[in-house]
Structure 1
Amino acid sequence: MPLLVLLLLLLAGLLLSPPQALSLNQDGLYLLQAKRGLSDPLGALSSWNPRDAAPCNWTGVVCDPASAGRVYSVDLHSSQLAGPFPIILCRLPYLSSLNLSDNFINSSLPSDISTCQKLTDLDLSMNLLVGSVPGSLSKLPNLRNLDLSYNSFTEIEPGLGEAPRLESLLVVYNLLNSTLPAFLGNISTLKILKLPYNPFTPGPLPSQLSNLTQLEVLWLSGCNLVGEIPDSLEKLTRLTNLDLCMNRLTGPVPSSLTGLRSIYQIELYNNSLSGELPSGWSNSTTLRRFDVSTNQLSGTIPADLCDLPLSSLNLFENRFVGPLPEGIARSKNLYELKLFNNQLSGPLPSDLGKNSPLQSLDLSYNQFSGQIPENLCAHRQLEDLVLIYNNFLGPIPSDLGQCTSLNRIRLKHNKLSGSVPDGLWGLPHVSLFQIAENALSGQVSNLITGAYNLSVLDISNNLFSGSIPDGIGSLRRLVELYGSSNNLSGQIPDSMVNLMELSTLDFSNNELSGEIPDGIKAWKMLNELNLANNRLSGQIPEEIGSLPVLNYLDLSGNYFSGKIPLELQNLKLNALNLSNNQLSGDLPPMYAKDVYRNSFLGNPGLCGDLPGLCPRRVENRNFKYLWMLSLIFVLAAIVFVIGVAWFCCKYRTFKKSTKKGMTISKWRSFHKLGFSELEIANCLREDNVIGSGASGKVYKVELSNGEVVAVKKLRKATKREDEMFGSEKDGFQVEVETLGKIRHKNIVRLWCCFNNGDCKMLVYEYMPNGSLGDMLHGLKGGSLDWPLRYKIALDAAEGLSYLHHDCLPPIVHRDVKSNNILLDGEFGAKVADFGLAKIVKVGKGDESMSVIAGSYGYIAPEYAYTLRVNEKSDIYSFGVVILELVTGRPPIDPAFGEKDLVKWVCATLDQKGPDQVIDPKISPVHWKEVCRVLDVGIHCTNSLPINRPSMRKVVKMLQEAGGGNSKESTTKKDGKLSPYYYEDAFDP
């Protein structure tokens, strides 16, 4: 009986409970079905519980309060979701906003997306979508905002031009490759149109866009636009932001732009615009930024443009001629004035800065003359003052000494004279103080102790006198200190040993005296020490030998005495000069070689074994004759004995060398060595060959001291090759000149080289794990897990970044490939084989080659038909290496058909998604990071060189890809999104 009562009570409770507690509503069921079609590695959808009555409390889900339980917004951005677009969400009858940005939504957008009838906002940016932007989106009657940026769409279907209410269309950085769609001019409701950084087919700016009379933002940077800017843009009366930079536009800046009365920003930089700037800007009262830099404009700056309340005016790298108009000084809100790299001339307006709160003034590389205006910092907001390479004369304005807001002062290469205002030495926020190459005089003030933020101080090539102030040692952030070619005297202050961040110290060509202070071993970061042509004396400190990264040492033209410290042999120097001192004793064994002869000339007591090193002494004539007579007999006997011994030795060596087929006569080392050339020669046997190629064979040589080195023996070029390639085929000379002077942890180390004309050899550090190509495609193929592949990519990128950005002049490798990336015992990667490397001559632009250099599958497309060499060619080749690491496939494979690896990856991503591209040997646990690295590889292999990131940016992108940062691959700039790898690509 009690059991029956209990059952009756339970049944009553179920009957009286609300119906929604029994099951999830229909909207929730749709959401659960969408969840089942997505991969959710982070559990972002874990709160989506089928036991709930409604999904209103689920992550990313918002319900309409007016209709209980009905979903009107789904926001799942940055959740690392993967899979195809969940079309089931379009069945939510009240859904008005859908945000799936920054995920891994792949495949293409389905055409039946038009079933999302209530949708007003759709954000699918930063995913892996491919194919076409469907025209069926125009059938969404309420769609206002559509963001498809940072995907891989290749086309916008014409049907989109019929969208009835679309206000914002963003397709930033995709793969759109037809001409810029003119049919977008039919969307009369558009207010924002952003299509930048797409590889459109070159074509003009469609005049149909002028029909968009509601348009406020038009952003078309890097869209391959050609031809002139159409006058019809004047119809866009509501336009606030016009950005057409980084295209190939020609012709003048149209006068019609001056009629845009709502315009706030005009950016036309990096085009080929010519002619004079139009006048008539007086009606553009809202204009705050105007940038027409890097064009071919001429003439003067219109006065009415200068009267506008600009906040930023960038006109650099044009061809303006003539003085700066007085009107520029009357601008009340002029914050930034940048006119560098032009041909502007004449004096600056005397009131410049008086009526405007200047923050940045850059007029460098012009022909300005006259005095620097007194009022530049009248409002005490000036942060950057850059006037380098002009003809300014007279004193530095005293008022600048009170400008505590200054961060950078660059007045190099002018005709300034007089003393520097005392206050200018000690400004607290200045990090760069460069006043070199003027005629400034006086003393360096001890007030410099107040410049605690100073990292670079350059006062070289002036007329400064007096002693170096002791307070300079308190500048703990100082990295570079240049004071050469002045009249400085006195001793080097002992306090300077406290400058632990110092990398460059140059006080050459002064009148400094005394000894080098004790304690310089604290300069652990010092790379260059130049104290040449002073009056320094005493002994050369042994502590110099303990400076770990020093590679330039010049103490010539002083009065140093005593022995040369043996500790100098610990250094890895690119340049050494101890000539013209009073040194004596023996040369350190490492430097007792003919290659270092000029480093020791002019030291009377320093003879060593190098002929001609010691100058002859004047002595008593009779004693001189007696001494010479005795010496003749002694020398004759010595020569006879040595001659016989030498003949016997050479005869044995000749027979031995003849048997080996080679004779080594020239030996050049770049590091401290523990082996000889004969030991190397004795080990060049066929059983030691570890590799061979078109240039010769590579041997593994185990030395008697336990070290292992790799020796590349270059074969002699044939007569036909000499005729075809000429000097460009001399890889030996290129490799010696390149590797002999660079030092980097990710560049293979060249120990020494041999060359006797008939035989050329290069001795490298041995890399026990061989090349990346062997590891990926050889017998060991597949043995690299993803963490090792990522480490190799980052190491190689840092090596190439060093060549491109840290070598002066920059070096282009020209043969970047997986076989030229070698792996040490811990799989650290080092770039090798510089036989095709080319030093890029600064200021000469790209260099033309007589033949195509590089390896098939790695050659950038533009290189094949232009034969132009620049760093962008290396970046393309490195992008191919990244694709090899991600896919595990070689650059050329019969499975690709007529495609190479780059085209195969792009096509496969477009048709099948990333899961068909990634090497199946890579664990799916790493796929999120792999996809980020794959994206870097695609960026590097962009068909347009201008769209490839710099190597420095590639390093940053790889670091971010491996750091788990999935949030932002873009940065905000002036209210718009710009690809991060464009930030420094055009920074002058």
Structure 2
Amino acid sequence: MNYHKHKLLLLVKALFLISFIPPTNSSNRDAAILLRVKNGQLQDPLRKLGDWIESSPNSPCNWTGITCDGQTNNVVSVNLSGVNVSGKFPADFCRISSLRNLDLSLNSLGEGITSDSISLCSRLASLNLSSNNFVGSLPEFPVQFLNLTTLDFSYNNFSGEIPTSFVNLPRLRVLNLGSNLLNGSIPEFLTNLTELTELVLSVNLFRPSPLPPNIGRLAKLEKLVSTYTNLVGEIPESIGDLVSIKDFDISHNGLVGRIPDSIGKMKNVEQIELYGNQLSGELPDAFSNLTSLLRFDASENNLTGKIPQSLAGVALESLHLNDNFLEGEIPEILALNPNLVELRLFNNRLSGVLPEFLGMNSGLEEIDVSNNYLEGPLPQNLCYRKKLQFFIIFGNRISGTIPESYGECSGLIYVRIQENELSGQVPDGLWGFSGLEHVEFSNNRLEGSIPPSVSSAKNLEQLLISGNNFSGELPVEICDLKELKKFDSSRNRFYGKLPPCITQLTKLQELHIQGNRFTSEIPKSIAAWRELTELDLSDNHFSGNIPVELGDLPVLTFLNLSNNLLSGQIPVELTKLKLNEFNVSNNRLQGKVPLGFDTKFFLSSLMGNPDLCSSDLRPLPPCSRSKSVSLVMVAVLSALAVILVVLLLWLLIKTKKLMIFGSRSSKSWKITAFQRFGLDEEQVLASLKNENLIGSGGSGRVYRVKLKCGQTVAAKRLWEPKGLAESEALFMSEIETLGRVRHANIVRLLFSCISDDFKVLVYNYMENGSLGDVLYGENGGVLLDWPKRFAIAKGAAQGLAYLHHDCVPAIVHRDVKSNNILLDEEFRPKVSDFGLAKILKQDSKEGDQVMSRVAGSYGYIAPEYAYTMKVTEKSDVYSFGIVLLELITGKRPNDNSFGENKNIVKWVTEIALSSSAQGSGNGIYVAGLDQLLDPRMNTSTISYEEVEKLLNIALSCTAELPISRPSMRRVVELLKDRSPNGSK
């Protein structure tokens, strides 16, 4: 018995010892393969794979990114996502026979992938190569991959067709080819992959293709994302067979026709995105069975008819039907929805009243029903749950009073209720919520005064209440709105003095208080208004003198003081301003009109001041009359002398004009003035000679011209190339663009002159030339310290954002570069040179128009522009990102120091990634920033937080894919944000 016990004990010990046997030969073989790949096929600059050492305990199962089977110690997974390795596709990983999952995403791997190399991986269950730099065609799959369920090739640069050999992936569940450069068609054979649960094709350059007619064969599909894939034709009826679908997104395409009734069979769908197409007809009344649907967006189409009851009755979280042609009333059943958070119905033809109980049953956060034909009262309980943030109803016929309950809607951020028929008083609380950023009550019948509670709206940037019956004095509490940029209380019944503290609003850009009953003098202590561009005090009862301090406001371009009781002289200091609009008519001004305003361009702005006089501007009276004969004689002799001088000058100018422009009569010129400023056209034209030449570029020569009035202008004479039509097009493009643009950060076009022989554009002269001139000049580092560079970035961004978002239609510059950003005497930036600019005509969707040639400058052209030839705002965003990198580094876009085949984006990205790895936080390591910063800058002026912010924005702007780049409006927001990474 003891013998048997002893044998049993030995057996147990043996089994126990077996569990501690060292790794098997297969584990050693796996380690050898991994090391061979690491040492021979990958570059590991950050040494993230430094622990891949054969002698380490339990290797390779404890190495970074390696997962082994718990029983056999065989390698089953290699996950090197985001470790910043580079090189070719390391197919030899797949020589590990037990490997099932290979994730190499978020790295810098590149070049093409061959069918031979991919064939080594036929045993894999999951292959993720997303977010790398792979190019060429998608790899063929020459053998069947019987285990592969997940294939992710997204965010690369693959091009061409989707290979038919993808049918050799019979068990594939997830296929993601999004964000590449695929330019074939969307193939029907994808519907043979019937095990698919997720199919992503979005953001590719496919040829116009329909959604596969048999898409319904993918009965297991839960997610279909095919945005920006050039889909055309109608939505197939077979979508009703997608009974498992949860996320159905075919937005931003060219789909036409009706939405099929079969959409109502997608019984498990949670999200349907159809926006940004050309769908037409009525919405089908077929949504009753879609009990899981949470989000429906069919905005930006051509839909007509009414909102179906079946759609309004679904318990949606968000309903977006804006920018269509819908009509009829908003269904009452919509107000019973307990889940509704977002309701966007703007830009339609809806009528009737807003549902009475809207907001009562759900935590509504956003409602936008602007630009419809709605009428009647506002719902009493719209903010019942106190979650409302965006309240937008402008451009309707809504009447009655604003319910008192809205005064408790403390979450409001954005309020636009202008252009309705609202009356009565605004609840006090609605003026002063702490989160308010934009309030617009204009053009209603509202009354009452601005309460002191307005002081609580600390984040308010725009307060627009014009065209109402508001009255009383402006409360001093308005001075607590330190973020206020635009205040418009025009055309109301306000009276009394302006609060003196209003001059302390340092961020104020526009002040419009015309058409009220304000009295007293105009404030003189206005030095803090450094950002003020527009000041309109007209149609009030202001008295006293015009403050000379107005002439020191650096960016003021609009000044209207007409129809007041102002007296004294027009300060000569005002002639320093670069005014688009100047009006002092109908006051009690006296004395001589300053030389800069003594022209016919300003005549109407001076009338109604009986005691104003002018030397030669009629019908204003002359400034001096004497009965003394001697003085008369002196005057006569002086006049004769002046006439003689004028005749001599005229002959000289005429001779020079003939020398420069030929013998054509001045009557053949066509002169168009765009600014109300007196200019001597002949003097400008006669000054286009070599001694005044200050620059020469791709579109023409630029001359510096000092006028008799003391102002200096820049005149650009365009080249006359062999292709006269092209020269004409450039000229007309610049005129069409700049002639209608008014912005502090865009160069001002004063006038144009065109004849058969020449074309000339005249602008304000910029004392410091272009950003490129200063940045790459010998003293660039001294002249441009960090605060100036950051301010230049903000100003240029605001100019471009104005072109993209505030001009209607939008304007794309197409040649954004440092040489086209001019700097005035205080280094304020002005975007210039609009010869290549393109106006995006809304009616023809010209944002997608293909251009006949690549336009722009080497080093600044967005990567997609060269092969798509499409005009989009995102091309400007990329170019602006390059300018930001220039501001940071002081290097040109293709500096020789970057090395072969590298540009500034690649060079900066490599340093930034390397530095991020060394730092302790999420930001870029300071030593890395020092590597990037222009060494000529005074280091004491540098804010590393601002540098990091600007760098993050620049890298975002220069993203490879246009869809990944921010809009210029977002760039402006990020630059103004206090946090370095742009988060709030």
CA distance in 1, matches of 2:114, 2:756: 68
Q: Which of 283, 288, 292 lines up with 1:277 in the alignment?
A: 283
Are 2:571 and 2:594, in contact at CA under 8 Å, matched by a contact in 1?
yes
Pair 1:642-2:639 in alignment: yes
What one-letter code is carried by the residue in structure 1 that aligns with 2:28?
A: N
Q: Which of 139, 150, 157 lines up with 1:152 in the alignment?
A: 157
- In structure 2, the partner of 1:86 is 90
Are 1:138 and 1:161, in contact at CA under 8 Å, matched by a contact in 2?
no
Pair 1:500-2:497 in alignment: no
What does the per-residue CA deviation read over 1:713-745, in whole Å, with 9 as the maximum and x for residues that have no partner? 457999x969x9989866786587368x5542x
What one-letter code is carried by the residue in structure 2 that aligns with 1:496?
A: I
Q: CA deviation at 1:543?
A: 3.0
What does the per-residue CA deviation read over 1:459-485, in whole Å, with 9 as the maximum and x for residues that have no partner? 111111221122111122222111111
Pair 1:816-2:815 in alignment: yes
Pair 1:44-2:48 in alignment: yes
Q: Secondary structure at the match of 1:25?
A: helix
Q: CA deviation at 1:371?
A: 0.9
Q: CA deviation at 1:545?
A: 2.8
Pair 1:516-2:522 in alignment: yes
What does the per-residue CA deviation read over 1:329-379, in whole Å, with 9 as the maximum and x for residues that have no partner? 221211211111111111122122222221211111111111111111122
What one-letter code is carried by the residue in structure 2 that aligns with 1:534?
A: N
Q: Secondary structure at the match of 1:423?
A: helix
Are 2:878 and 2:957, in contact at CA under 8 Å, matched by a contact in 1?
no
Q: CA deviation at 1:233?
A: 1.6
Q: Structure 1 residues 591-600 or 313-322, which shifts more?
A: 591-600
CA distance in 2, matches of 1:182, 1:96: 29
- In structure 1, the partner of 2:581 is 575
- In structure 1, the partner of 2:942 is none
CA distance in 2, matches of 1:321, 1:522: 50
- In structure 2, the partner of 1:654 is 651
1:363-442 map, 5 Å: 363-442=369-448
Are 1:606 and 1:613, in contact at CA under 8 Å, matched by a contact in 2?
no
Against the structure 1 CA distance between its residues 869 and 680, is the aligned structure 2 distance closer, same or farther, given a 3 Å change threshold? same
Pair 1:116-2:121 in alignment: yes
CA distance in 1, matches of 2:263, 2:672: 67
- In structure 2, the partner of 1:464 is 470
Q: CA deviation at 1:256?
A: 1.2
Q: CA deviation at 1:520?
A: 2.4
1:750-829 map, 5 Å: 761-762=760-761, 765=765, 798=797, 801-802=800-801, 804-805=803-804, 808-809=807-808, 812=811, 816=815, 821=820
Are 1:227 and 1:250, in contact at CA under 8 Å, matched by a contact in 2?
yes
What does the per-residue CA deviation read over 1:538-584, in whole Å, with 9 as the maximum and x for residues that have no partner? 22233323322222221111112223334434433322222222223
Q: Secondary structure at the match of 1:549?
A: coil
What one-letter code is carried by the residue in structure 2 that aligns with 1:57?
A: N
Pair 1:33-2:36 in alignment: yes
Q: CA deviation at 1:759?
A: 7.0
Pair 1:834-2:834 in alignment: yes
What does the per-residue CA deviation read over 1:87-108, in whole Å, with 9 as the maximum and x for residues that have no partner? 1111122222222112121112
What one-letter code is carried by the residue in structure 2 that aligns with 1:145?
A: T
- In structure 1, the partner of 2:184 is 178
- In structure 2, the partner of 1:737 is 739
CA distance in 2, matches of 1:244, 1:175: 18
Against the structure 1 CA distance between its residues 614 and 818, is the aligned structure 2 distance closer, same or farther, given a 3 Å change threshold? closer
Q: Which of 207, 227, 230 lines up with 1:201 in the alignment?
A: 207
Q: Structure 1 residues 263-272 or 172-181, which shifts more?
A: 172-181
Q: Structure 1 residues 429-438 or 854-863, which shifts more?
A: 854-863
Q: CA deviation at 1:968?
A: 9.6
Against the structure 1 CA distance between its residues 229 and 380, is the aligned structure 2 distance closer, same or farther, given a 3 Å change threshold? same
1:138-149 map, 5 Å: 139-149=144-154
Q: Which of 131, 134, 137 lines up with 2:139 in the alignment?
A: 134
Are 1:431 and 1:455, in contact at CA under 8 Å, matched by a contact in 2?
yes
CA distance in 2, matches of 1:847, 1:233: 30
Are 1:814 and 1:853, in contact at CA under 8 Å, matched by a contact in 2?
no
Are 2:700 and 2:717, in contact at CA under 8 Å, matched by a contact in 1?
yes
Pair 1:342-2:348 in alignment: yes
Are 2:771 and 2:823, in contact at CA under 8 Å, matched by a contact in 1?
no
Against the structure 1 CA distance between its residues 757 and 633, is the aligned structure 2 distance closer, same or farther, given a 3 Å change threshold? farther
Against the structure 1 CA distance between its residues 195 and 307, is the aligned structure 2 distance closer, same or farther, given a 3 Å change threshold? same
CA distance in 2, matches of 1:487, 1:499: 23
Are 2:130 and 2:156, in contact at CA under 8 Å, matched by a contact in 1?
yes
CA-atom RMSD, angstroms? 5.3
- In structure 1, the partner of 2:366 is 360
What does the per-residue CA deviation read over 1:898-927, in whole Å, with 9 as the maximum and x for residues that have no partner? xxxxxxxxxxxxxxxxx99x6469898557
Q: Structure 1 residues 97-106 or 359-368, which shifts more?
A: 97-106
CA distance in 1, matches of 2:534, 2:828: 28
TM-score by length of 2: 0.77
- In structure 2, the partner of 1:949 is none
Are 1:812 and 1:874, in contact at CA under 8 Å, matched by a contact in 2?
no
Pair 1:309-2:312 in alignment: no
1:602-613 map, 5 Å: 602-612=608-618
Higher relative contact order (CA 8 A, sep 6+): 1
What does the per-residue CA deviation read over 1:28-55, in whole Å, with 9 as the maximum and x for residues that have no partner? 2222222232233323323333443523
CA distance in 2, matches of 1:45, 1:187: 37
What one-letter code is carried by the residue in structure 2 that aligns with 1:104?
A: S
> Percent identity over the alignment?
36
- In structure 1, the partner of 2:570 is 564
What one-letter code is carried by the residue in structure 1 that aligns with 2:739?
A: E
Q: Secondary structure at the match of 1:318?
A: coil
CA distance in 1, matches of 2:238, 2:672: 71
Identify unmatched segments of 5+ residues in structure 2: 1-19, 777-785, 915-946, 971-984
Q: Structure 1 residues 108-117 or 486-495, which shifts more?
A: 108-117
Are 2:69 and 2:76, in contact at CA under 8 Å, matched by a contact in 1?
yes
CA distance in 2, matches of 1:544, 1:344: 48
Are 1:852 and 1:863, in contact at CA under 8 Å, matched by a contact in 2?
no
Aligned residues: 883
CA distance in 2, matches of 1:371, 1:107: 64
Q: Secondary structure at the match of 1:156?
A: coil
Pair 1:448-2:445 in alignment: no
- In structure 2, the partner of 1:488 is 494
Against the structure 1 CA distance between its residues 867 and 963, is the aligned structure 2 distance closer, same or farther, given a 3 Å change threshold? closer
CA distance in 2, matches of 1:84, 1:874: 32
Q: Secondary structure at the match of 1:322?
A: strand
Q: Secondary structure at the match of 2:542?
A: strand
What one-letter code is carried by the residue in structure 1 that aligns with 2:154?
A: S
CA distance in 1, matches of 2:749, 2:731: 20
What does the per-residue CA deviation read over 1:839-862, in whole Å, with 9 as the maximum and x for residues that have no partner? 66787975999x989969999999
Q: Structure 1 residues 665-674 or 526-535, which shifts more?
A: 665-674
Q: CA deviation at 1:702?
A: 11
Q: Secondary structure at the match of 2:479?
A: helix
CA distance in 2, matches of 1:409, 1:922: 43
Q: CA deviation at 1:85?
A: 0.4
Q: CA deviation at 1:888?
A: 6.2
CA distance in 2, matches of 1:416, 1:798: 37
Against the structure 1 CA distance between its residues 711 and 964, is the aligned structure 2 distance closer, same or farther, given a 3 Å change threshold? closer
Q: Secondary structure at the match of 1:282?
A: coil
Q: Which of 294, 300, 303 lines up with 1:297 in the alignment?
A: 303
CA distance in 2, matches of 1:641, 1:686: 32
- In structure 2, the partner of 1:57 is 62
Against the structure 1 CA distance between its residues 137 and 980, is the aligned structure 2 distance closer, same or farther, given a 3 Å change threshold? farther
1:217-256 map, 5 Å: 217-256=223-262
CA distance in 1, matches of 2:716, 2:46: 50
Are 1:815 and 1:853, in contact at CA under 8 Å, matched by a contact in 2?
no
Against the structure 1 CA distance between its residues 759 and 534, is the aligned structure 2 distance closer, same or farther, given a 3 Å change threshold? same
- In structure 2, the partner of 1:8 is none
